[in-house]
Amino acid sequence: MCLALPIQIIEISDDQQNATVSLDGIRKEISLALVEGVEVGNYVLLHVGYALSKVDEAEAEKTLALFAEMGTLEEG
């Protein structure tokens, strides 16, 4: 099973090939080789260090909330 997470772009490299993303304060550099037209603030689906596609902000936030809720349920 593969899992891709929605994640927000906070910085894009000058050559537009890489981006810095952030999730709960964790920053990571990812590749933008598979997507076009992304901008700072956009959400993308992240899988194994690659952005796979752009994601609607509302859907991304809803998905992230569900992941957070699952984590809370597992802790309890």
pLDDT at 67: 85
In this prediction the pTM is: 0.85
Fold of 5-75: SH3 type barrels. (2.30.30)
Cα–Cα nearest to 5, from 66, 69, 75, 74: 66
The pLDDT > 70 percentage for the chain reads: 92
Interval 2-18: pLDDT, tens: 788 999 999 999 999 99
Count of CB atoms situated within 10 Å of the CB of 37:
8
Interval 24-34: pLDDT, tens: 888 999 999 99
40-62 mean pLDDT: 95
If residue 45 lies in a helix (H) or strand (E), which one and from where to where? strand 43-47
